[in-house]
Structure 1
Amino acid sequence: MKKSLKKSLVIALAVLFVFGAAACSKEEKKSIKLAYVAWDSEIASTNVVKHVLETDLGYEVELLQVDAGPMWAGVADGSADAMVAAWLPGTHASYLEQYGDRIEDLGPNLTGTKIGLAVPTYMDISSIEDLKDPDVAASIGGQIVGIEPGAGIMMATERAIEEYGLDNIQLLESSSSAMGKELLEAYEEQRPIVVTGWTPHWKFAKMELKYLDDPLGVYGGEEAIHTMVRQGLADDMPDAYEFLDRFEWTADDMAAVMVEIYEGASPEEAAQKWVESNRDKVDAWLGK
C-alpha cells in the first residue's frame, strides 16, 4: 500500500513538473508585433527585421499589414510594438503630427529616399507641368496610376493635381503591386504612363524611369525612412529595442531584397538570403 502511494506521488510530481515547465516555457516565449504597409520597400525591410528577431533573438514575430494611418495609430496605442516604415519629414508628416507625441522615434534606418511622379524615359516630358497639355493627358488616359488610398504619396499627389491645376487628370487608387504590374505592362509595350513613384523600389532597377520635375516642391526633397516604436518597448523588450535602434541599411541593400521578391522568391526567402549574405551588418545591428 505504501509503495503504491509512493509511486502515485512520484507520478503526480512528475506530471506537475512537466506541466509547470511547459507553462514557464510558454510564459518565457517572447513575442513582438511589427506593423507595415504593403509597399515593396517596406515588405523587404520588415521581413529582414522579422528574420533577425526570430533567428537571432528568439522572438515570435507577428506581422500586421495595414494602411499607413493604422500603422502609425497601432504603434501609438500599443497594439503594435514597432514599425520600420515611417517616411519623413514629408510623406508621413500628417501622421507624425497626429501621433508623434505617443511614439518613440529611433531615427533613420535608410536615408536618401525620394517620392514623386515617375514616367518611363521614352516619354518626351520632363515636368509635372507638362501634364496640363491636353495631348499628354489624353496619351495617359487622363490618369495617374497610384497605390493604396491614405498613403502619404497619394495625399501628396492629390495636392499636386490641385496645385498644378491638372483638371484633366485623375488619381487612380490601386495598390503597390498593381501599380508595378501596370507600369511593367505599359513599359513592355512602350505606352505612355505616369505612376506614383518612390526610391528605393525594384521598378527603378528593372526599367529606365525618371521623376518628373516638381517646380512647386509639392513632393518635398530628400527623405529618410525612420524606425518607430511604442512607448515602453525599451523596458519590456530591451534586446529587441537595442536591435531596432541599431537597424540601418542602404538603398542598395533594400533593392537587393526587393528584386529577389520581384523575381519570384517569397519575402521570407529573400530576407533569409540577404541576412545570410550580410552577417557583418546583421552582427553590427545586434551589437556583436
Structure 2
Amino acid sequence: MKRILLISLLCFTSLLWSCTQEQNADGTKAAAPEAKKEVTLVYVEWVAEVASTNVMRVVLEELGYKVKTLPVGAAAMWQSLGSRDADAMTSAWLPTTHGHYLEEVRENVEDLGPNLVGTRIGLVVPKYVEIDSIAELDAHADKFSGRIIGIDPGAGIMSLTEKAIEEYGIKNLRLVEGSGATMTAALSDEIKNNNWAVVTGWTPHWKFARWELKYLEDPKGIYGGAETINTIVRKGLKEEQPEVYALLDNFNWTAAQCEELIAANQEDGADPYVNAKAWVERHRDLVNSWLGK
C-alpha cells in the first residue's frame, strides 16, 4: 500500500512540475518553444544569381531565419531541391537553359515563376568583330584563336554551345571550359589588345555595361528566345514554412535593379552579402512589397 501511495505521489509531483513549466511567472501559459527557423538557399555562382541569393538571405535574416547559402554547379543545384537537401533557389533560367534539369525533378519541386524577365543567352563578341552570325564563326576561326571561351561545364549554356557547334558545323573552334570569372578575364584581355573573341554570354551581366558587345545571330534558334530567371522551391515548403514561401513567391525585380547590385559586386574587395544589405536599405519600399507590407 505504501508503495502504491509513493508511486502516486511521484506521478502527481511530476505532473505538477510539468504544468509549472508550461506557465509563466504570472500564471499565464508559456509559449511553446519556437520551431527552428532555418532556410537553405542553393545557387550557381553567376553574377545575377549571387546578387539575388544574397538579397533573399538578407531579407530572410531580417525575418529571424538562419540562412545557409550553398554555391554549387547547375546540375547539383537542381538535384539538391529535388532531394529536399535545399529549400529554394532564385537561379532557374527557363525555359531553355535549365529546361532539361527541371524535367528531371519536376515532380519534387514547385516553379514560382519569374523573378526577373528579359534575360537572354547566346554567343557574344565585341562590337568591333566583323561578323554577325554564329554561322560565320568557323570561316574566321583563326581570328578567334580557335576557341569559344566558356564557363563551368555543368552550365546549361555550355551544353547548348556544344549543340550549336554541331548544328552549325563548327570544326575549327573548340569550347574552352572555365568559370564566369575566367570567361570575363579572358574577354578583357582580348579586348585590351583589340583581338577578336567569342564567349558564352547572358543578360543581365555587368560585361555589357563595361564593354561594347553584341550577340551573334542564331538563325537555327539553338539558344532559344528571351528567357526568364525563375524562383524554384522544394515541394512541401509552402506548408512547412509559409512565411518563407510567401517571400520567395513575391520576389521580383527589374534587370536595372539587379545590375545595380551586380556592378557593386565587381568592385575590388566587394562583399556580395554586405552589398546586398546596402541594396535592401536603398530599396526598402520594393522589399516591403515582397513582404506584403
TM-score (norm 2): 0.87
Give the deviation of 1:188 after TM superposition. Answer: 2.1
Q: Does 1:46 align with 2:50?
A: no
CA distance in 2, matches of 1:31, 1:102: 20
Aligned residue identity for 2:135: E
* Residue aligning to 2:76: 70
CA distance in 2, matches of 1:138, 1:200: 29
Q: Does 1:242 align with 2:246?
A: yes
- 1:280 paired residue among 257, 282, 285: 285
Q: Deviations over 1:18-65 (max 9, x none)?
A: xxxxxx99964411000100111111111111111112x111110111
Larger Rg: 2
* Residue aligning to 1:124: 130
The residue correspondences of 1:260-275 to structure 2 (distance < 5 A) are 260-264=264-268, 265-275=270-280
Give the deviation of 1:273 after TM superposition. Answer: 1.6
CA distance in 2, matches of 1:220, 1:30: 39
RMSD over aligned CA atoms reads 1.7
Does the aligned pair in 2 maintain the 1:35–1:80 contact within 8 Å? yes
Q: Deviations over 1:137-161 (max 9, x none)?
A: 1111111000001111001000000
* Residue aligning to 1:32: 39
The residue correspondences of 1:128-277 to structure 2 (distance < 5 A) are 128-133=134-139, 136-264=140-268, 265-277=270-282
Deviating 4+ runs (over 2 angstroms): 24-29
TM-score (norm 1): 0.89
CA distance in 1, matches of 2:236, 2:103: 20
CA distance in 1, matches of 2:33, 2:214: 52
Aligned residue identity for 1:229: V
Q: Does 1:115 align with 2:128?
A: no
Shifted more, 24-33 versus 266-275: the winner is: 24-33
The residue correspondences of 1:72-87 to structure 2 (distance < 5 A) are 72-87=78-93
User: Which SS does the other structure have where 1:228 is aligned?
Assistant: strand
**Structure 1 runs not aligned, ≥5 long:** 1-12, 18-23
The residue correspondences of 1:93-112 to structure 2 (distance < 5 A) are 93-112=99-118
Give the deviation of 1:102 after TM superposition. Answer: 1.1
CA distance in 2, matches of 1:52, 1:122: 42
Q: Deviations over 1:238-264 (max 9, x none)?
A: 111000000000111111111001123
Does the aligned pair in 2 maintain the 1:117–1:196 contact within 8 Å? yes
Aligned residue identity for 1:268: Y
Does the aligned pair in 2 maintain the 1:40–1:177 contact within 8 Å? no
